[in-house]
């Protein structure tokens, strides 16, 4: 049951990111906080990486956490780059941004650090596989 919940959450979060990153920028609320956009990108990929790690952990029980973390980082990085390319080439109101990719990467790396800490302190072993 938890396996399906994690998969549903990861797929939903992925869809939310896609939607929010590809809709017209004018449809999003405007907030005048410096670099808020970059923090949002980092947050998106932080949660994205956490959720997809849990999903992979359920589906690939015999793989080491280190390998799964590497896979999750690669998926997050690829997903972030793909969204920026879509913004650059397939939308008229959005622009691809290299700094957004760096923000995405930062969020994914923070998630990897948190997951590594949790794994080393055996917190992840308390979550059933």
Render 22-64 in DSSP notation, one character per residue. Answer: HS-GGGSPP---TTHHHHHHHHHHHHHHHHHHHHHHHH-TTS-
Q: Is the pLDDT of residue 32 over 90?
A: no
Q: Is the pLDDT of residue 37 over 90?
A: no
Residue 105 contacts residue 93 (beta carbons within 8 Å) = no
- CA dihedral sign, ordered 111, 90, 9, 40: positive
Average pLDDT over residues 65-73: 96
Overall pTM > 0.75? yes
More confident residue, 59 or 24: 59
pLDDT digits over 83-115, tens only? 999 999 988 888 888 999 999 999 999 999 999
- Rounded Cα distance between 105 and 109, Å, is 6
Q: Would you call 91 helix, strand, or coil by DSSP?
A: coil
């Amino acid at each position: 049951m938890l396996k399906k919940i994690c998969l549903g959450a990861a797929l939903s979060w992925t869809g939310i990111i896609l939607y929010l990153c590809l809709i017209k920028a004018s449809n999003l609320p405007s907030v005048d906080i410096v670099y808020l956009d970059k923090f949002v990108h980092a947050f998106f990929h932080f949660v994205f990486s956490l959720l997809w790690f849990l999903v992979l952990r359920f589906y690939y029980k015999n793989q080491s956490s280190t390998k799964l973390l590497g896979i999750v980082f690669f998926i997050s990085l690829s997903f972030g780059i793909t969204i920026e390319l879509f913004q650059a080439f397939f939308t008229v109101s959005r622009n691809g941004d290299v700094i957004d990719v760096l923000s995405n990467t930062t969020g994914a790396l923070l998630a990897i650090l948190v997951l590594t800490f949790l794994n080393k302190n055996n917190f992840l072993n308390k979550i059933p596989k």
